[in-house]
Structure 1
Amino acid sequence: MNAPAPTAPLAGGFVNGEVSFWYRDLGGVPEPGDALGGDLDADVAIVGAGYTGLWTAYYLKRARPGLRVAVLEREFAGYGASGRNGGWLTADLAGIPERYAATHGAEAARALQRAMFATIDEVIAVAAAEGIDAGIVKSGLLHVATNRAQLARARHMLAHEREWGWGEEDLRPLDDAEREARLRVAGAQGMLWSPHCARIQPARLVRGLLRAVRGLGVQVFEATPVTAIEPGRAVTPYGTVRAGHVIRATEGFTAGLPGKRRTWLPMNSSMIVTEPLPAKVWEAIGWEGRELLGDLAHYYMYAQRTADDRIAFGGRGRPYRYGSRIDERGRTPAWTVGALWDLLTGMFPAVRASGAGIAHTWSGVLGVPRDWCATVHVDPATGLGWAGGYTGHGVATANLAGRTLRDLILGEETELTALPWVGRRVRGWEPEPLRWLGVHAMYRLYRMADARENRAPGARTSALARIADTITGR
């Protein structure tokens, strides 16, 4: 007999989908701007007006104000992951350093990590310079372990970071007193803290960036789907943009382009956000520093305390839709909402006791390459380029990608163009139904592994998780 579906209390005015709560916080989903009105000549055409596309346009115009840069967006700027993510401006790599080191050496992998560390402050500095109020608080990232197997993985994570040369200033364990002072998670057995992360309100960042690039003279055409990307041109129903460089910046939506269905898997992630929580809840929880929070489960969660004192809490729901299909405007199944609520209130019982409900839920996709490592590429022969495959770490990674694409487009050899993700090639995902079967088997095994680890007294990672890792190639 199947277990009953988890349920959750819904607040008055509850919203499911409508892109994300972050736009509700801004007063509603924006209307798309003007569409392309005919054929256009440009120096650089960028497909996709999320973080990657807008950062690339920003840095190109800052470097060469005379460049003609056009950005083409199917919906509105920030419609995809850039306006739906968990608000983690984190220096975590997309993928593991060993894979970058395998092709370019260990020092190159360390250089990529150092570049990611620096990217956090770069985004914060640009936001300040451009007057973008994105609710940024650089208070770091907490990794919590809630059972013995997770605690063992936390120790392994710390040892792994030390092996790569990162010290106490980059990642350190918290003792019981400091853990209690920072954030009280029910059942916590250990916690690591890294300073290399900041909280943001993601929609405020992407919409502020849109204003900045338009102010620099970039043409951004919204409600303009691109039907073909070819050397020298981006084709839309409303005209063709001819350009020496055409850059694909479509991340999780890449599978919708002709011939790209197996390039990056559109992996689904879902979020809930509570009503604003009363002072008594925060007295029980703490979280005065507003650090970002993640756990060490296989089916992991991510959370932040928002500027208006809600908890925004995310995790995997329905991980993948057959044929690499993508949702429309972020609607989320009731089962996923209930599962996230149970996980949130299991970590923070005071939230359930307060009688607070869920104000909003939404979902979105992130781009996952077959080897789980991001890439940046520009082909000087054809002028075609791309960046993406951020595996959920795109808020900061897209900024580094934008600066790297700038240098590649301008033909400059820099420290950024020497990073080991530049020009990285990886095989595509398996055809259907193997792709669907593999992804769903992987996440079913991860859920089962987490359940076993929560019940087991030992500190060993479940063998089911190791099988899942083998299936996915993580």
Structure 2
Amino acid sequence: MRMSFVNGSVSYWFREIGLPEPGAPLPGSLQADVCLIGAGYTGLWTAYYLKKAQPDLRIVVLEKEFAGFGASGRNGGWVVGELAGSHHLYAKRHGVEAAVRMQKEMFATVAEVVRESAAAGFEADLVQDGLLTVARNPAQLRRLRESVEAERAWGWDEEDLRLISPRDRIDVEGAIGASWTPHCARVQPAKLARGLAGAVRAMGVEIYEGTPVTDLRPRTPASEPMAVTPYGVVSADYVIRCTEGFTAAFTATHRDWLPMNSSMIVTEPLPDAVWAEIGWRGSELLGDMAHYYMYAQRTADGRIAFGGRGKPYRFGSKIDDGGRTQDRTVQALRSALRGMFPAAADVPVAHAWSGVLGVPRDWCSTATVDHVTGLGHAGGYTGHGVAATNLAGRTLRDLVLRHDTDLTTLPWVGWTVRQWEPEPLRWLGVHLMYSLYRHADTREHHHPRTSKLATLADRLSGR
């Protein structure tokens, strides 16, 4: 069995379609109507919806690397309609009705991504076949049933989420229960990022790559908001930060969103006989009820892309831009994949990579624009960003254009960020939390109830 595989190099998703040619950097100082920092999904969707709503706007996007370089080009390919944040905290501040309304908007966003991608004319392997979540021991099954029941209070009815037989869709080894929701679509992440970048460029949006932003300055009586780069300054009516997991690079927001590391592997294409044995015939996404959870998809070219936590956090919120993954993380993911799909045990790994997502201390995402300072931001999607970025883009559009809509009254608008603890408490807390979750998963193989270690980890994390 071949043991060599590509490690890092952004992601398999970009390896499949090819890394883009470097785009031109900012040619010098200029004036715009809206300046967006970051050419990931948030920045690109915001540019897309703003340009559709008001074609005469001059919109500039500044990107340190290339469009889709960060989480947008490395994620698991789940366009998932789960609320990007905490039901309870949103409800506590804005009421249950507002939290339920935001959940409904997330449901609708999955179809919106599929529809607008088709309207923009690019192919991203988008198929809305839903999400299967499996339980593989009694403790997980108990949590699965409780989670389905709990979601009823937040707008999920039987059509949105229901318990099913674990082998109705995919034959996962050891599965004793499952739930299914239609509100999830598979996507090839890099194709989505490249398609969006091409669409907004065609609309007249200027994307300058290889252009790091070193400072953001608010509106003052003497000047407009500004994004400062080594190549010049972009002044605009609004400067919107869309940097998600890279937000810690700015001194002013260093502790706002923790850059949580997640890792993935993708196999070589599986033989037809293996797919038949697994029974994975559609394009459902797959997750589980472990605390140290996994996420997977069947790719359009017949592979299994399989992800989970590796080394969850680097001291000082540092980021490994190259995406290289530790050997022990690759082996752990490979072992987990074999455990769920013994028929695929001999299928080699083709590529491994990592990336960071933005995690707020209170697990609540935000989309906000300050009309006084002219600055805005969106992010902190806690792993639900492929869909939440689209909702953020539409929300930021309405906020920038000062349109009073249902989106501008969603509970995440203007949400105040709670900062993470300073180091070394931040590093110690995150690693302790995930160590507790790993040990809890091990204990639950032998005990029918959720481990007290997981309960302690939940309290530590504030979830």
Taking structure 2 as the reference length, what is the TM-score of the superposition?
A: 0.97
Q: Does 1:389 align with 2:376?
A: no
Q: Does 1:444 align with 2:435?
A: yes
* Deviation of 1:372 (Å): 0.4
Q: Does 1:463 align with 2:452?
A: yes
Distance 1:313 1:195 in 2: 20
Q: List aligned pairs for 1:25-424, cutoff 5 A.
A: 25-26=16-17, 28-175=18-165, 179-231=166-218, 232-352=225-345, 355-424=346-415
Superposed CA deviations along residues 411-447 of structure 1, whole A, max 9, x for unmatched, are 1110000000000013200000000000000000000
* Deviation of 1:132 (Å): 1.2
Counterpart AA for 1:84? R
* Deviation of 1:180 (Å): 2.3
Q: Give the aligned CA root-mean-square deviation in angstroms.
A: 0.9
* Deviation of 1:99 (Å): 1.2
SS at 2:25 equivalent = coil
Equivalent residues of 1:72, 1:222 under 8 A apart: yes
Equivalent residues of 2:104, 2:155 under 8 A apart: no
* Deviation of 1:31 (Å): 2.5
Equivalent residues of 1:185, 1:347 under 8 A apart: yes
Counterpart AA for 2:163? P
SS at 2:33 equivalent = strand
Equivalent residues of 2:99, 2:154 under 8 A apart: no
* Deviation of 1:455 (Å): 2.6
* Deviation of 1:161 (Å): 1.5
**Count of residues paired in the alignment:** 457
Counterpart AA for 2:437? Y
Superposed CA deviations along residues 385-405 of structure 1, whole A, max 9, x for unmatched, are 000000000000000000000
Counterpart AA for 1:15? V
SS at 1:432 equivalent = coil
Which ranges of structure 1 fall in alignment gaps of 5 or more residues? 1-8
* Deviation of 1:165 (Å): 3.7
Structure 1 residues 96, 321: closer, same or farther in 2, change over 3 A?
same
Return 96-105 or 439-448, whichever deviates more.
96-105
Distance 1:267 1:76 in 2: 21
Distance 2:145 2:191 in 1: 36
SS at 1:42 equivalent = strand
Distance 1:196 1:182 in 2: 16
* Deviation of 1:258 (Å): 2.2
* Deviation of 1:95 (Å): 2.3
Equivalent residues of 1:11, 1:356 under 8 A apart: no
Task: Look up the match of 2:462.
Answer: 473
Counterpart AA for 1:469? D
Distance 1:10 1:363 in 2: 22
* Deviation of 1:107 (Å): 0.5
